[in-house]
């Protein structure tokens, strides 16, 4: 028997629209806030927020790359000071604490820069007692999203929903241990990287993120800051 694989998404906007079709139970709810993980998650989140008629904001998370192999995540940090480490990977590679601290310090500087760049003078939305929907363009290891969930949990939301267009089975299962709800539109049997499930997976620019957030803010009703 031939198993038909899911078709790749044309781009992040199409992925967001497809993802929104699985989230219709949140449509037009005033207590729902969609948070995009920059940079690639923001176009997906913007399409989700438009489709559902809910608010959009950004939540900055940075991967902590293994020294010398920065594409390999040994953990992640998020807005608010949350940090998640892959203790098994760190132990197996014998990465010293000093190296972890150095990478984390570098990424915290970049995290702060991006928050200033994306928000400009706009305060973050208040997340207390809200349904917070964390959106990225995909889940590979899940370490970045896990850091975001842990940071958001400290802000006392009513519910945390992790929503992605595509992800690995391992990461999706792991997310269900930390989030209140996980929506993954596609979980392919063969998964090696998020980018393989997009025709256009070109890098999202800072300018695109700022434009999407500015457009969303212009249509929002003013809310209190955190």
Question: Using omega within 30 degrees of 0 as the cis cutoff, is the peptide bond preceding 39 cis?
Answer: yes
* Domain at 180, CATH number: 3.40.50.2020
Predicted pLDDT at 102:
96
| H-state helical runs in the chain | 12-20, 41-52, 87-93, 97-119, 143-153, 169-175, 206-219
In a domain, 158, yes or no: yes
Q: Domain total for the chain?
A: 1
pTM for this entry: 0.85
Q: Domain span at residue 131?
A: 12-61+123-219
120 SS3 class: coil
In a domain, 23, yes or no: yes
Predicted pLDDT at 223:
36
85 SS3 class: strand
- Asked if 83 contacts 75 with a C-beta cutoff of 8 angstroms, the reply is yes
In a domain, 27, yes or no: yes
Predicted pLDDT at 225:
30
pLDDT digits (tens, 9 = 90+) for 87-98: 999 999 999 999
């Amino acid at each position: 028997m031939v198993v038909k694989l899911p078709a790749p998404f044309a781009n992040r906007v199409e992925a967001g629209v497809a993802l929104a079709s699985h989230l219709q139970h949140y449509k037009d709810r005033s207590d729902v806030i969609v948070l995009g993980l920059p940079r690639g998650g923001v176009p997906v989140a913007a399409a989700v927020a438009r489709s559902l008629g809910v608010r959009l904001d950004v939540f900055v998370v940075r991967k902590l790359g293994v020294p010398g192999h920065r594409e390999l995540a040994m953990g992640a940090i998020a807005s608010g000071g949350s940090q998640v480490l892959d203790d098994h990977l760190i132990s197996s590679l014998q990465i010293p604490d000093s190296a972890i601290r150095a990478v984390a310090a570098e990424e915290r500087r970049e995290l702060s820069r991006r928050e200033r760049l994306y928000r400009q003078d706009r305060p973050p939305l208040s997340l207390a007692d809200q349904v917070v929907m964390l959106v990225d363009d995909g889940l590979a290891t899940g370490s970045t999203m896990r850091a975001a969930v842990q940071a958001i949990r400290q802000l006392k939301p009513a519910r945390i929903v992790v929503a992605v267009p595509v992800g690995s089975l391992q990461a999706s299962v792991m997310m269900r241990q930390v989030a209140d709800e996980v929506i993954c539109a596609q979980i392919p049997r063969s998964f090696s990287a998020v980018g393989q499930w997009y025709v256009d997976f070109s890098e999202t620019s800072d300018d695109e993120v700022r434009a999407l957030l500015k457009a969303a803010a212009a249509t929002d009703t003013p809310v209190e800051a955190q």
